[in-house]
A and B are shown apart, each in its own frame.
Chain A
Amino acid sequence: MKKIAALTLLIAVSAIAQEHVTVIRNATVLTITNGRIEHGSVVMRGSKIAAVGPDSSISVPAGAAVIDAAGKFVMPGIIDSHSHTAVEGAVNEGSLANTGMVRIADVMTAEEIAAYRQLAGGTTTALILHGSANSIGGQSQIAKWKWGKPVSEWPIKDAPRTIKFALGENPKSANFRPPEGVPRQYPATRMGVEEVIRTSFTDARDYLAKWDEYEAKQKRGEPAIPPRRDLLMETMADILRGRIDVHSHCYRSDEILMLLNVAHDMGFHIKTLQHVLEGYKVAKEIAAAGTGAGTFIDWWGFKAEAYDAIPYNIALMTRSGVLTSVNSDSAELARRLNQDAAKAMKYGGLTADEALKLCTINPAKELGIDTRVGSIEVGKDADVVIWTGDPLSTYSRVETTFIEGEIYFDRSRDLEQRQQLAREKADRLKKEAEETAREKKDTKGRKKNG
């Protein structure tokens, strides 16, 4: 207990001291955007990266904590472009075909241990998405896994607003067997999915016209009743205004083209396609639309629309000029996205540098947060991970994970804590068992007396 308290204090103190400086020295630094530096140093001052370069060029500031990382690798925190971790309650508001009014930000929880486990795999940032039960799902949230902090501190405050769309089997069969007395939900076909999306945006234009009319009347000094502020329509309108980025779940090439066409017709942009397992068939079109692609590296055949998936997908899309990333869609896979990135070297021959980008700067660009995260550069957030070896090797593991200059995972601390936590658990269970036994005795005694 004491040790835990001390540890917490340490973390708390480092948070208060804004100018806390940590220097990692003598490491192989994978900057992502400026190549690899052997015998390199990274200086973290406060929440930012203050310097990066060969050891010889970096002087250690007085009072800095120095970590000797000889033989080790340092890379930026991994970014997962498709997560459902740390959502309390259902991840789908599945009752309607368009639930753009709901927000993941309202239901994030700091109690999700998977967030800590992802830190142990070097993942620091994620796009936390609504599920795929509806053609237009809820608003998603870009956040960092600041395990131990109140959940209000997890979101990246100035990150773009985002929303989840979904195509194909999930939205068309979300309520395939509705409960007794509830009619089956529209849409039930891919045609219907397209119609839902189109109609939502024509409705949004009508909605905006109503407000324009009201505001014009007000300007003329005429009495006017304010229209209803409809949170769903406000969301659709903000997509049209370019204030919300669309990230769409999809699998098949036909539906991918459909969505790109709808977006073109309606006047909005698809920021990324998610999963996009048949992306290789229409990679040129995706690239031409300026749309990114976050995909599974080697998941296939798990559902009808995944039969044409191939592990070369990501390499083929990359070579066609698509901005690509590996995503997890899973609290478990999110712990080892480095390994999925490495598989892109085996399947399709991406270079090591290209592979590393798949889980760092590329997803950062896709999410619109690349000025803050995704590479080791001066001025960026100090989200930095120390690995025992090359992160593209399955034999490497994470030693320490920093977010904004603070340690959120450290393997040696974790191992130390395990014993203390096991002891605390045993003590608490013992105490509880004794209490329960006492209470039982009391109840029995009362019954006898009464």
Chain B
Amino acid sequence: MKHGSLAALVCLVLSVPANGDAPGVYAITNGVVHPVSGPEISGGVVVIRVGLIESVGAGVAIPADATTIDAKGGHVYPGLVDAQTSAGFASPAPRPRRGEATTTTTERRESAPAINPTPAFIALESLKLSDDDADDWRRIGVTTIVTAPTTDIFNGQSVVLNLGSGEPAGNAIRSPAAMQISFNPRRRSTFPDSLMGVIAYLRQTFLDAQQHSAALAVYQRNPAGLTRPESSRSLDALAPVMRRDLPIVFLADSEEMIRRAQAIAREFNLRYIISGARQGYRMAGDLRDVPVLVSVKWPAPPATKEDREEQPLRVIRDRQLAPTTPSVLAKSGVSFALVSGAGKAGDYFRGIRKAIDNGLSADEALRATTLVPARIFGVDRQLGTLERGKIANVIISDKPIFAKDAKVMRVLVDGREVRLAEKEEAETAAASPAEGTWNLTVRMPSGSVSIVVTLHVENGRVTGNFSGDRGSGDIRDGTFDDSTLEFTISVKSDAEAGDWTFHGTVRDSNITGNVTTNLGTFEFSGSKSR
């Protein structure tokens, strides 16, 4: 991606301090300062000394030892906080294809990503974040992220991480930040492989954590004459969660999922945060007591007109109302942050702008990306505003930060300037051949069965949904590798109930293959909708 010649493009409009990497003394002058903690200050000064903010104001004297950064015409903000990412954790590698018998199970396990999160998993200890990865965030003005894997159920303990240089340990603001939980069923035949199984699993695990603490307490009082309880890192790791010391972040997008998360939290009296919440617009009144991280990955319409027209109204309506969630929450007094959500950083600002187009004020958007997330994770004494004593995460943009063509000119993290490599104009990645809506026909003894699947491919992982003669729902365990597509759907009609696993070969806009069901294996074929 990056070439030496591009590094030379790091010529900025503004003057470059002599030693950009030292946590020295800087005075940012002449810009419009947005401290977030108070009204904006035209021509304000921000003085930074050895990593911390020393002073902010209009008439602040510029120290003699300061390097001046002239922000004339620009805007100065605290660095943004993206409070839900999965940065530093690869999306799961496509799982091996059926019939790939040449590799042994052990070999496969070794080549698979090492992450197998449990409650005891510490994100800070395992995350791998390159400078290039961090630049994706810093380039748009994000200087702090909260990150954890999102692929399993208990995804371990997240970290509030500054995007400075050096090892993650030196950049951690708070670890553990929260216990990260997703309602992800596991692969077929591994408990729990259904949503209801996931909920039962969570309930049993929390009960086990309570019992574990109770058993240890009894044993410690009476160690003689009692069988010692088994030790468990996972259940030990849940003890602070059960005590409400560590909050849970539940990934939950729909109203029903949010209510399920709330029900579990109530059942076990847990402190929690909702992340995702794209149907939050429907239930603002019930979110007043819980911090919300609204993912701005807004649902997108299908690519073709035919597919859009085939969708039921309530799907279309929901897709269009989702981006009103931030403004609805703001009006209802809900404490919410705007987050990019698991995956890439690129669409974060487009998503925020869409929320602003749907009624959120730019000021509210700024608070939701600075002070509010800092508060939600208990780091608002260090981050989130431009105030004396806070960590010197400061960004300068040429226009108001959420303006459509605003560009981030300077980024300081912990008082050190970060030199941004100029990003190549991203080639529009060629869409994967599996991407799109497919009309499939399964040839069963009782006749042909029509199923429509809409697939989205990202890094070999396939997500999407299905509908047709055998009900509808999300697809699971989807993978795509060059030409081989595999995914599973759950069929409800009793005689054919169970998982149908499709395994097919994609050629141009056609697919052929087999589908394995409880009743046997049948051929299917299909083509992509135009």
Q: Residues of A at under 8 Å CB distance from B?
A: 84, 87-96, 99, 101-104, 106-107, 109-111, 113, 130-133, 138, 150-152, 169-170, 173-182, 185, 223-231, 249, 275, 302-303, 306, 329-331, 421, 424-425, 428-429, 431-433, 436, 442, 446-447, 449-450
Contacts and interface: CB of A to CB of B under 8 A. Distances in A.
A132 B497 contact: yes
Given A225-B226, A302-B446, A429-B309, A89 B320 contact: no
Main secondary structure, interface of A, reads loop
Contacts of B199: 102-103, 106-107
Nearest to A177: B516
18 contacts: A91-B492, A93-B193, A102-B200, A104-B196, A106-B263, A107-B194, A107-B195, A111-B256, A175-B188, A177-B521, A178-B189, A179-B188, A181-B105, A226-B211, A227-B211, A329-B494, A330-B494, A447-B425
A89 B490 CA distance: 8
Contacts of A103: 196, 199-200
Contact of A94 (B493, B498, B516): B498
B492 A131 contact: yes
Nearest to A274: B494
Given A87-B492, A91-B497, A179-B98, A425 B108 contact: no
A89 B229 contact: no
B196 A107 contact: yes
B387 to A, nearest CB: 35
B215 A92 contact: no
Nearest to B212: A228
Given A109-B256, A180-B100, A175 B189 contact: yes
A162 to B, nearest CB: 14
B316 interface: yes
Contacts of A92: 194, 490, 497-499
A429 B312 contact: no
B248 to A, nearest CB: 17
B317 interface: yes
B185 A428 contact: no
A89 B215 contact: no
B98 A84 contact: no
Nearest to A183: B189
A64 B156 CA distance: 59
A229 B199 CA distance: 16
B189 A95 contact: yes
B231 interface: no
Interface in B184-211: 185-197, 199-200, 203-204, 207-208, 211
Contacts of B222: 223
Given A174-B518, A226-B214, A436-B301, 8 more contacts: A101-B200, A102-B194, A102-B197, A106-B200, A179-B501, A228-B208, A428-B316, A432-B320
Contacts of B193: 90, 93-95
Contacts, number: 200
B200 A225 contact: no
B92 to A, nearest CB: 14
Interface residues of B, number: 72
B495 interface: yes
Interface in B169-189: 185-189
5 tightest CB-CB pairs across the interface, nearest first?
Answer: A89-B195, A90-B194, A93-B197, A223-B222, A95-B191
A181 B495 CA distance: 27
A130 B191 CA distance: 16
B194 A89 contact: yes
B113 to A, nearest CB: 16
B492 A425 contact: no
Contacts of B425: 447, 450
B225 interface: yes
A106 B211 contact: no
Contacts of B495: 302-303, 306
Which has the most chain A C-beta neighbours within 10 Å: B96, B256, B477?
A: B256
Nearest to A151: B256
Given A94-B194, A223-B221, A223-B226, A231 B314 contact: no
Contacts of A101: 200, 203-204
Contact of B493 (A87, A227, A330): A330
A432 B308 contact: yes
Nearest to A104: B196
A28 B321 CA distance: 46
Contacts of A132: 494, 497
Contacts of B197: 93, 95, 99, 102
A133 B490 CA distance: 12
A133 B317 CA distance: 36
B405 interface: yes
A90 B497 CA distance: 10
B211 A176 contact: no
Contact of A138 (B196, B471, B473): B196
B227 interface: yes
Contact of B207 (A176, A178, A231, A425): A231
Nearest to A424: B313
Contacts of B108: 181
Contacts of B192: 93, 95, 102
B229 A90 contact: no
B492 A428 contact: no
Contact of B490 (A90, A130, A175, A450): A90
Interface in B459-506: 471, 473-474, 477, 490, 492-495, 497-499, 501
Contacts of A151: 256
Contact of B189 (A185, A225, A275, A303): A185
Contacts of B11: none
A182 B190 contact: yes
B313 A421 contact: yes
Contact of B218 (A91, A169, A225): A225
Interface string B99-127: 11000010010000000000000000000
A94 B188 contact: yes
Given A89-B473, A94-B189, A131-B492, A223 B98 contact: no
A131 B200 contact: no
A282 B227 CA distance: 51
Contacts of B219: 225
A239 to B, nearest CB: 16
A91 B200 CA distance: 14
B195 A88 contact: yes
Nearest to B473: A89
Contacts of A180: 95-96, 98-100
Which of B195, B215, B316 counts the most A-chain CB atoms under 10 A from its CB? B195
B404 interface: yes
Contacts of B518: 133, 169-170, 173-174, 176
